[in-house]
Amino acid sequence: MKVKSTLLILSLVLICTLKASAQDEKPFYYLSFEGGAHVIFSQIPEYDFIRGDLSSYGGGSVSETIYGQSDYWYAGVKLNKRTANQRFAFGTGIRYTQFNSSLGKSAGESNSSYFYMLLREDGSSTEYLKVTDIEEHSGFIGIPIEYRFFLNPRVYSKFYIKAAASVNYNVFSSRSAGFYNSSMDKYEHDITSKFDEPSDFFIPLYFGAGLILGNDQKSNVSLEFLVPSFVLTKNVSGILEPVTGFGFQLNIQIPVNKNHEA
């Protein structure tokens, strides 16, 4: 329901923007090549099949036993339109995003470099494996939607604030497990299949500020610091629950039309 509402809002905003753009007589157009990365702080679900120490079964929490980390990076191309008064800009295009998540043993839990994962239970017999890490990688193809408001238009160095989101569809996912002993490698699928599959969609929402350096009539570069950064689709990772984070984005812009005064 949350994803559908977000998609509806983004669609309405896009339609309104395109309608308003048609009324702008002499806009600036730029072809923009982008690249960026975000660090996402995540929560670890209380998995009942993960233990830090078999001698303390039933005590403590998973978050005290293991650590989790998430990040994503992306690259793409957009067509950016800046209004004639150079106050507002809108951009959209196509983007590839890779979302990465991992689980590992917490340094403070013990001196060991592994944690225990339940392999199987059969009556009175219970088997565990020593796991060093779990990694998950998911690739997405999506459409970014970005808005910028320029605080000081018509100067060589332009400061702006930004609001953006993207709607991305999962095109592949992979998951792997590392073991304390290589003889356990044959159980990799049994271990990785205990976690949920990642979502088909990934929708991030983020805000930030940036600086453009360069003449409007020539190629220019902009750097953005993005905070806060939210993940609206919490199940984009099958092993962690992303919450919020921060990131940066680099853009190289090439003017498409040069019929304006610099």
Distance CA 192, CA 136 (A): 9
Which architecture characterizes domain 2-46+66-104+136-180+196-255 according to CATH? Answer: Beta Barrel (2.40)
Spell out the residues 6+ positions from residue 166 whose beta carbon is closer than 8 angstroms to its own.
74, 95, 97, 142, 143, 144, 145, 202, 203, 204
Query: CA 72 to CA 135: how far, in whole Å?
Result: 13
Which token pair is 205? 């929402």
Model pLDDT, residue 10: 56
Tell me if residue 9 falls in helix, strand or coil: helix
pLDDT of residue 144: 98
Which residues make Cβ contacts (< 8 Å) with residue 184, sequence separation at least 6?
Answer: 129, 130
Domain ranges of the chain: 2-46+66-104+136-180+196-255
- pLDDT 10s per residue in the chain (262 long)? 555 655 555 555 555 555 555 455 678 899 999 999 999 999 999 898 988 776 655 545 677 788 999 999 999 999 999 988 888 999 999 999 999 999 998 766 556 789 999 999 887 788 999 999 999 999 999 999 999 999 987 778 899 999 999 999 999 999 999 999 999 999 999 999 999 999 999 999 999 999 999 888 889 999 999 999 999 998 999 999 999 999 999 999 999 986 555 4
One-character DSSP codes across 170-216: EEEEEEEEEESSGGGGGGHHHHHTTSPPPPSEE-EEEEEEEEEES-T
Q: Which tokens is 98 given? A: 């890779």
Name 246's bridge partners: 39
